[in-house]
Homo-oligomer: A and B are copies of this chain.
Amino acid sequence: MPQNDPLQIQDFLPYLLNRAAEATSLDFQKAYKDRYGMLRTEWRVLFHLGRYGDLTAKQICTMADLHKTKVSRAVAALQDKRFLERTEVPADRRNELLALTKLGQSAFDHLHQEATRYNETLLASFSPADQEALQRCLKQMANIP
């Protein structure tokens, strides 16, 4: 049984994933930070509402695996910026349904387009087989179906 070389830091997946995540996130941040004054979590929440329709905060927590505190503050910030509105759900007044405003919708439309373009550019440098392997492995590690 051969003794392998000692693990290098750049082969340690949590490290490698963090570096790749930070590099790409900081890169894409250029699309929303200055223009819309959003933070990363706000952009994530906006994406969910724009792409998947009106949701409650709890639903976003579950879908995005975000802590309710983080979502609560992102929602408040998006509301301050007039990107979304809350409407009470009479059936269960603990819930508040979150919906994008016209402004929020147009920001989403633009950013979703940018995200699509960015993603395509990133993926374009990999072979189709690599793209497929990458997505499959990442989803498994992230516990995403």
In the complex, A72 Cα to B60 Cα: how many Å?
36
| Complex contact A133–B125 (CB within 8 A) | no
Verify B13–A119 contact, CB threshold 8 A: yes
Asked if A7 and B119 sit within 8 Å, CB to CB, the answer is yes
Question: What chain B residues lie within 8 Å of A64 (beta carbons)?
Answer: 9
Cross-interface CB contact of A115 among B7, B123, B133, cutoff 8 Å? B7
Q: Which of A17-51 contact B (CB under 8 A)?
A: 17-25, 27-28, 44, 47-48, 51
| A116 B17 Cβ-Cβ under 8 A | no
A122 at the interface (CB under 8 A from B): yes
Q: How far is the CB of A100 from chain B (nearest CB, A)?
A: 15
Which residues of B are found within 8 Å of A139, using beta-carbon distances?
Answer: 10, 16, 20
For A16, A22, A25, A48, the residue with the greatest tally of chain B CB atoms inside 10 Å of its CB is A16
B138 contacts A130, CB within 8 Å?
A: no
For A119, list chain B residues within 8 Å (CB): 7, 11-13
Q: Most chain-B Cβ atoms within 10 A of its Cβ — which of A28, A52, A138, A139? A: A138
Complex partner residue of A125 from B6, B65, B123, B140, CB under 8 angstroms: B140
Contact A24 B141, beta carbon cutoff 8 Å: yes
Would B19 and A24 count as touching, CB distance under 8 A? no
Chain A positions within 8 Å of B, measured between CB atoms, are 6-25, 27-28, 44, 47-48, 51-52, 63-65, 112, 115-116, 118-119, 122-123, 125-126, 129-130, 133-144
